[in-house]
Structure 1
């Protein structure tokens, strides 16, 4: 493990679903009980797979632990993985595996209107025993990302292996229903990335009386939205999550932390600054962060509860299905390159913008100069939210 730290070969580990997305967009308002004209796309998907591909395209070289069948969908997903020269040893193949597939019906804005998911193989075949075979990879990783498609026993096994070597864990909730799987493993979680609805579901799963209700935004201000979400955010931080990345759609991201202001400078012990990762680090640190971020002194005066709003960037939207995954992938790649949480959040938002402007869930490539320029804009526009006090 020590050798991997020194030569830069420690790989972030991503565990979760690789999925074929069938995305159908109607060209007219759909009617029940009949077909309508439109377009159908086959897109490489899956929360963990999307995140890992985004990380790879930003130079992070993740090690993927997943499961695929020998069917058409499995072959399509695996061929692309091999073409990207990413390791396949962690991808379980078996004749009984039906490759996870999701069919999305998209509305005219690119949002998911309805869908059907067949992802049982992730729970059935990504077992604790399979994951245990790669514990040496997890022990030497800079960070472990798990998605909530995993069964509760597999989630717990993954987190326990990471804890043995103090490897930070990123929990990606996937959906409202599956987000509740954080409850047994919350004590292991360093980062979590829910949207508003997943945040409420996670808070209810961690409380005894389902005290949190879905948020009705009604065009409220950012400060008002934050005050509505704050009790649920605080509960997750109290239960042990160190950094909460709450995605709020076209309004961007709320980055929240409990404790000392040093939380914002949290970095990974094992980072890689070779190749594209090295160029990403150099590009982002060429300007001192204090030159970008005007509220840095406010952070230093906030002893208990810190929350920063990072605005989203304007985008020419083609499809929204990969935005959240690329946000996480961008942040993880940045952390693995040695950047801090604030810089990583800005890059995550830029990666999310790039994803909504292409047909695929993940852009095939990123321009570092564009990333750096856009990230500086996001970073300089970030604002500490008021009333940063202990609840």
Structure 2
């Protein structure tokens, strides 16, 4: 029997190549460690966590018709995701992400999501060709690896006008791509303090300060994390609340924000109130960065 999607995950699905070392690293460091290749990308990381919480995500992304793409598609299906909504390109390679992490956190990362950007609006065809219900009115997790033009189209267009949009910037370098959602009072934005500062063209010492500023700038709803310090959630009606994440030994950081976002969505889908959903999301992210959950 064909599965029905509980949520659409729109954005990057690629191979993560991650080098991790237990040593403190700096520019030019050459240290022993482990190098892994795993399915990744913001949309994929969110989908994997949602699947672990019992939800069925459908992926809207671009994957090449190359050997890496075939392997990645199989990995998505094996993890319980709906893959017949994925755009397969004949002439674009499967995207990749590369990062190096040390004991002192993320040292450097490069996201090669050029194929996703080049595919553009083609990844949204399932919303208009009858593959998915239209207009789509369910949950949508969206990441900022799409082009600014396509994100603006999603923020203002009719295809997802009735959807419960949950939006993440993908990285601080792409934070300003979320501006259309601020300008149009659309969606729930999941950002860290640095990304909030880029959107507001300033800097913030705390997540509650950042959340309040984003709401003032036009955000409909926000969740702001700040590493091991308090995270905040807020909207215009309920104001801003905050909670402290559990203190754990950090063994990995790539994908932590995606885990937080997915766990928060899953908690709310089960009926958790805003305080409980924030607490559950922080706990899931803490477990993830401690290395106690699979990638």
TM-score, scaled relative to structure 1: 0.67
1:42 counterpart SS class? strand
Match of 1:44 in 2: 39
Report 1:311-326 matches (<5 A). Answer: 311-326=244-259
Q: CA deviation at 1:141?
A: 4.2
Match of 2:116 in 1: 122
Match of 1:243 in 2: 221
Q: Is residue 60–residue 337 contact of structure 1 (8 Å, CA) maintained in 2?
A: no
2:73 counterpart SS class? helix
1:194 counterpart SS class? strand
User: Of 181, 184, 189, which aligns to 2:186?
Assistant: 189
- Report the Cα distance in structure 1 between the residues aligned to 2:254 and 2:28, rounded to whole angstroms: 25
User: Of 198, 201, 220, which aligns to 1:201?
Assistant: 198
Q: Is residue 192–residue 241 contact of structure 1 (8 Å, CA) maintained in 2?
A: yes
Deviates more, 1:150-159 or 1:62-71: 150-159
User: Of 237, 248, 258, which aligns to 2:236?
Assistant: 258
Match of 2:7 in 1: 12
1:153 counterpart SS class? helix
Unaligned runs of 5+ in 1: 1-7, 205-211, 218-224, 262-305, 365-391
Unaligned runs of 5+ in 2: none
Higher RCO (C-alpha under 8 Å, 6+ residues apart): 1
Q: CA deviation at 1:25?
A: 2.4
- Report the Cα distance in structure 2 between the residues aligned to 1:318 and 1:29, rounded to whole angstroms: 12
For 1:244-284, what per-residue CA distance to the aligned partner results, in whole angstroms no more than 9, with x for missing partners? 1000111241112222x3xxxxxxxxxxxxxxxxxxxxxxx
User: Of 125, 133, 154, which aligns to 2:126?
Assistant: 133
Residues 29 and 319 of structure 1, relative CA distance in 2, 3 Å threshold: closer
- Report the Cα distance in structure 1 between the residues aligned to 2:226 and 2:244, rounded to whole angstroms: 9
Q: CA deviation at 1:185?
A: 3.2
Q: CA deviation at 1:54?
A: 0.5
Q: Is residue 144–residue 169 contact of structure 2 (8 Å, CA) maintained in 1?
A: yes
Residues 151 and 316 of structure 1, relative CA distance in 2, 3 Å threshold: same
Q: Larger Rg: 1 or 2? A: 1
2:199 counterpart SS class? helix
Residues 158 and 172 of structure 1, relative CA distance in 2, 3 Å threshold: same
1:55 counterpart SS class? helix
Q: CA deviation at 1:240?
A: 3.4
RMSD: 2.6
Q: Is residue 24–residue 104 contact of structure 1 (8 Å, CA) maintained in 2?
A: yes
Match of 2:211 in 1: 233
- Report the Cα distance in structure 1 between the residues aligned to 2:113 and 2:30, rounded to whole angstroms: 25
Report 1:46-195 matches (<5 A). Answer: 46-109=41-104, 111-125=105-119, 127-135=120-128, 136-137=132-133, 139-159=135-155, 160-164=157-161, 166-186=162-182, 187-195=184-192
For 1:176-229, what per-residue CA distance to the aligned partner results, in whole angstroms no more than 9, with x for missing partners? 22110122233152210110110011113xxxxxxx2x34x5xxxxxxx35xx6
Report 1:206-355 matches (<5 A). Answer: 212=202, 214-215=203-204, 217=205, 225=206, 230=209, 232-259=210-237, 261=238, 306-355=239-288
Q: CA deviation at 1:104?
A: 0.9
Q: Select the structure that is richer in helix.
A: 1
Q: CA deviation at 1:51?
A: 0.6
For 1:42-76, what per-residue CA distance to the aligned partner results, in whole angstroms no more than 9, with x for missing partners? 12211111011111110121111011123344233
Q: Select the structure that is richer in strand.
A: 2
